[in-house]
Amino acid sequence: MHFSGLHAFTRFIVYSNLFIGGCATALAAETFYLLQLPPSLNWYLLLLFCCTIFVYSLHYYVKAKKDKQDSRLDWCRQHPYLLLYTIIGSALLVAGGVLFHFDAIFLINGRLNVHNLTWFIVIPLLALAYSHPLFPGHTKSLRHIGWLKMISLSFIWSFTTTLLPVWMLATRDTPPLYPMLVVFLHRFFFIASLSVLFNINDYEEDKADGVRTIAVAWGPESTLQKGKWLSLVLGMLTTAWLLYTFQLISPLFLLATGIPLLLLFGAWHYFRKSEEEAFFVLRYDGLMIVKALLLIFALLIQHK
């Protein structure tokens, strides 16, 4: 009974998309601490949390209506109203948050901030285009274009958790571009590595749909063998670059950034396809939270 309750709770946290919203918020919080962004920008964290829940809930709400079968879609079909209420609730929270912080987001010196307005249009469209064919003349979403599936997802996640909150400041207090790009690239390759693991888990579905991901092109086993070393090398290079750029050369930070690298390599090396998506998401996407919390704790300890 205890295990059954834990199983049901895990499914709820993951399939309601609260967990993935927490992952996005954790990564953005890591950026806030690393780049020392002002507390006045904390509204962005709540907005990102709600936006992530909305986008993912809408994706699975639409997907659940199609003729596909897996543990997550079965859960969505069993709880259609819960998913629908989540979509409506998160949309209302996003709208309310934007209205409440309207001046901070869209005004600068009393004038309309066209820069921020543009990002608020472009980024949500890109996020929705990942799952839904929004562009004129195209019948496929970005996730159904093999070479774009991993790239577009990694870009959206990395951009919204690194560059976008900084550019929302629109003041002279924004950090220099170079360290921001270092954080972006470090985040991009980390998310890309996780994305390929999910592509491997989705191999059968993508192959049946004609989506030529890396896993479909190379085959699952070859992707795992090549990918784990490529992921490790890129991770080590970008991590070393990050530590050098921010002058975080100490055993504390080597540990805080090295543990996620080892865990990610272990995720590749001991990869197992899972029929129960809730535990797969918890195990692999959970690395985002681990990565963020370790670096945040290290930064807090350093500043004491």
Q: Helix/strand/coil (H, E, C) string of the chain?
A: CHHHHHHHHHHHHHHCCHHHHHHHHHHHHHHHHHHCCCHHHCHHHHHHHHHHHHHHHHHHHHHCCCCCCCHHHHHHHHCHHHHHHHHHHHHHHHHHHHHHCHHHHHEECCEECHHHHHHHHHHHHHHHHCCCCCCCCCCCCHHHCHHHHHHHHHHHHHHHHHHHHHHCCCCCCCCCHHHHHHHHHHHHHHHHHHHHHHHHHCHHHHHHHCCCCHHHHHCHHHHHHHHHHHHHHHHHHHHHHHHHHCCCCCHHHHHHHHHHHHHHHHHHHCCCCCCCHHHHHHHHCHHHHHHHHHHHHHHHHHCC
Per-residue confidence (pLDDT) for residue 170, from 0 to 100: 59
CA distance 196 to 71: 20
Question: What gap in Å lies between CA 4 and CA 18, rounded to an integer?
Answer: 20
Q: Are 115 and 102 in contact (CB under 8 A)?
A: no
Q: How far apart are CA 55 and CA 34, in angstroms?
A: 27
- Specify the higher pLDDT residue, 216 or 149: 216
Q: What is the pLDDT of residues 37-83, one digit of tens each?
A: 888 788 899 999 999 999 999 989 888 888 888 889 899 999 888 99
Considering the chain, what is the average pLDDT of its residues?
Answer: 88
- Asked if 31 contacts 162 with a C-beta cutoff of 8 angstroms, the reply is yes
User: Please, are residues 94 and 54 in contact by the beta-carbon 8 Å criterion?
Assistant: yes
Given this model, what pLDDT does residue 173 score? Answer: 65
Q: Is the pLDDT of residue 215 over 50?
A: yes
Average pLDDT over residues 174-194: 92
89's tokens: 């609730």
Q: What is the pLDDT of residues 217-229, one digit of tens each?
A: 899 999 999 999 9
Tokens of 52: 């992530």
Rounded-to-integer distance, Cα 36 and Cα 133, Å:
37
Q: 1: pLDDT confidence band, cut at 50, 70 and 90?
A: very low
Q: How far is 138 from 127, CA to CA, in rounded Å?
A: 16
| CA separation for the pair 75, 13 (Å, rounded) | 12
The answer, yes or no, to whether residue 243 has pLDDT greater than 90, is: yes
| pTM for this entry | 0.91
- Report the distance separating Cα 89 and Cα 249, nearest Å: 44
> Across residues 228-235, what is the average pLDDT?
96
Average pLDDT over residues 272-294: 92
Q: Give bridge partners of residue 112 from the DSSP assignment.
A: 107
Quick: pLDDT tens for 70-128: 889 899 999 888 999 999 999 999 999 888 888 877 877 778 878 778 888 888 888 88
Mean pLDDT, to the nearest integer, of 241-245? Answer: 96
Residue recorded with tokens 């609260």: 18
Q: Tokens in use for 37?
A: 């962004």
Q: How confident is the model over 253-278, as pLDDT tens digits?
A: 999 999 999 999 999 999 988 778 89
| Mean pLDDT of the region 157-169 | 89
Mean pLDDT of 159-169: 88
Between residues 89 and 212, the one the model is more confident about: 89
**Higher pLDDT pick, 302 / 284:** 284
